[in-house]
Each structure stands twice: as structure tokens, then as C-alpha cells.
Structure 1
Amino acid sequence: MARSTARFEQVQALKAQGKGIKPIMRELGLAKETVRKFYRATNVEEVTATSRAGRPSMLDKFKPYLHERFNAGITNISALFREIREQGYRGSHGTVADYLAPFRVVGAAPPAKPAVPKVRHVTSWMLHHPDDLDEEQQLQLKQVRTTCPHLDATAGHVTEFAKILTNRHGEQLDEWMVAVEAHELPHLHRFVRGLRRDYDAVLNGLTLPYSSGAVEGNVDRIKMIKRQMYGRANFDLLRKRILHAV
């Protein structure tokens, strides 16, 4: 806690001087994500609470089962520990005992909170077409979007950009970028700034039917042949293999 407080004060002091995240990273020698969370926090408790809340536990996936069994009258901790061990739990007996202790005091377990989906799963769901997700994945994504307005806005913009990309609707690019900039979404703002820097190339790529895929495919094929022959043959044979492959 003391270290977190010191870092928070350092980052906020530099922020007050008008410095951005990257300059603060270089000055303090901290990772980008570390600086970002202290930079955006309003107090140190906000940072530490988020860290604790997001920390996964081996017991998480077994909590709904424990709640159900406890309310069914199975309150013996050792028995419940053996049951979840048979299901794959590899944690300690003490962890289970500590988790169930409050339930033993009141004599019942509250409804189990659904497990929070992992970031990589949410990202994958957002990047897939809705028709490619099963019912459970669609439901979980809907629940996540409902609980977080920023994530809901991000998912909506990602979906719209995917439509522009796959259907080559480059004429909608300007409207999409304006819509993104109207929301408080720093990550997408950086993406939009990158699009604006290469606007002509991006617009052509989202409009015209041409692709460099064939060229990239040949480059990858040449690299593969080169790796296969490294240390085994001379340039003449490499050239012949490439010409034969093409």
C-alpha cells in the first residue's frame, strides 16, 4: 500500500505539470499500464481496489457449486473440499474454509456471482461476427456490455468498422471516425489518429477491390524455403527452388 501511494503521488504530481503518460513512463521507469492506471485514478484506493477485484482465484469456477451444495444442506467443509477436488480444484483446504466461513455464520449462502469473463474472451467475442458465437457467448457478451457503457460503445464501434472493412464501405469511414471521437474512448482515439495519418491509403484499402495478398503470399513462401535450406545449400540451389515454386 505504501508503494502504491508513493507511485500515485509521483504520477499525479507529474500529471499536474502537464506531462503525458509516455514522458512519465520514461521519467519514473515504470511500465505503460502501471502509469496509465495511476494516471487515470482519482485516488490510490481506486487503484488498489481494482487490483484486488481483478485478481483471479483457483476457487472462482467452483464457487457456484459450493453455494448450491451449501444451501442444499451440505455444510461440512471437508466434504465440500473433497467434492471440488474431484472436479479438478487444486487449491488448499484453508482457502475453501475461509470462503465458506461467513456462510456458516448466517446458515446460508447468497446467490453466487457469475464468473467474470477473461479479457481475451471478451475481446474475441467482440471481434467475431455475432452469428459465429454460440448462445452462451452471445449472452455473456451482452451481460458484459450492459454492465460497462464504455465497453458497450467500444463493441459497437468495432462492429461498425468490421462492416466497413468487410463490405468495402470506405465512404462511411469519415462518419465512423467522427462517431468514435464523440466518445471518451482513448484507445480507439489513438486508432483513429493512425487512420488519419494514412488516410488516403486507408480509404483506398476500404474502397478498392485490390489487395497485396498475392504478393505477401509469395514473400512468405520464399521465407519458408529460405528457412528450410539455411545451412544446407548455396544460393544457386535456393534460386532454383524459388523459381520452381513460383
Structure 2
Amino acid sequence: MGIRHIARHLGWGRHTVRRYARATGWQDMVKGRTRQLPSKLDHFKPYLAGRRAETDGNVTILDLYREIAARGFRGAYSTVRQWIRRELPQREAAHPLRRHRRYGR
């Protein structure tokens, strides 16, 4: 069968059928990035990790953001927040949160 006939039969585009036909394995068809793109934050990650470690985690993300912004970071606060929450260990709460009693129970 030809590419057009297969495409018509499957309801796909010709180019999609051609891409599948040329693939040597399923790995060729997996979409996604094969490499990590550089981030605006890359240059500041060692500084952030060091500051977090030297303060034993007792520094706010906002303070860290302000520090690197003063050093030239031009990205968003949310970028810093997401990276810190994902990559740096969270400190343990000094006092566990207590549950408040409602209505005198």
C-alpha cells in the first residue's frame, strides 16, 4: 500500500504515516526533549544552594529571590520558588503545627 492509501485508511496525515514508516523503533517516535535547555537560573543555582545551606534553611524564598535579583537575575520569582521547592531539601518545622479546637470541643 502507498503512503496516501495508508493515511486515508487510518485517517492520519501523509507526513505522520511517513514518519512512522521511517522510524526504526518506537524510541524514534517518543516525543520530548532529549536534552535539558539552559535556564536563566543556572548561573545562580550554586549561590542559592550555598545560601540555603549556610542559613540552615532559615531564609525565605523571597529573600533569596531578592538577593539574586540584586546580582543580575532577570527571571521570575516563580522560577526560583519552583526550583527551590523541587531541588533543595526543606527544613523541618521548628514547632509542629497544632490543630485548633473548634467550638470548645
TM-score normalized by the length of structure 1? 0.26
Unaligned segments of structure 2, at least 5 residues:
1-14, 93-105
Cα RMSD between the aligned structures? Answer: 3.0
User: Within the alignment, does 1:13 sit opposite 2:21 as a pair?
Assistant: yes
Paired residue for 1:222?
none
Say whether the 8 Å CA contact 1:8–1:44 is kept in structure 2. no
Paired residue for 1:42?
27
CA deviation digits over 1:6-60, x for unaligned, max 9? x7764241356xxxxxxxxxxxxxxxxxxxxxxx982444x5131xx43221111
Identity %: 29
Q: 1:82 to 1:9 in 2, by over 3 A?
A: farther
**2-structure distance, mates of 1:61, 1:9:** 43
CA deviation digits over 1:75-113, x for unaligned, max 9? 3111100110011100011111111113353x39xxxxx
Q: Structure 1 stretches (4+) deviating beyond 6 angstroms? A: none
**Aligned residue pair count:** 75
**2-structure distance, mates of 1:59, 1:49:** 19
Paired residue for 1:71?
53
Paired residue for 2:82?
98
Higher RCO structure (Cα 8 Å, ≥6 apart): 2
- The aligned amino acid for 1:97 is R
**2-structure distance, mates of 1:13, 1:43:** 11
**Higher alpha-carbon Rg:** 1
Q: 1:15 to 1:76 in 2, by over 3 A?
A: closer
CA deviation digits over 1:125-152, x for unaligned, max 9? xxxxxxxxxxxxxxxxxxxxxxxxxxxx
Q: 1:8 to 1:49 in 2, by over 3 A?
A: farther
Unaligned segments of structure 1, at least 5 residues:
1-6, 17-39, 109-246
Greater fraction of residues in helix: 1
- The aligned amino acid for 1:14 is R
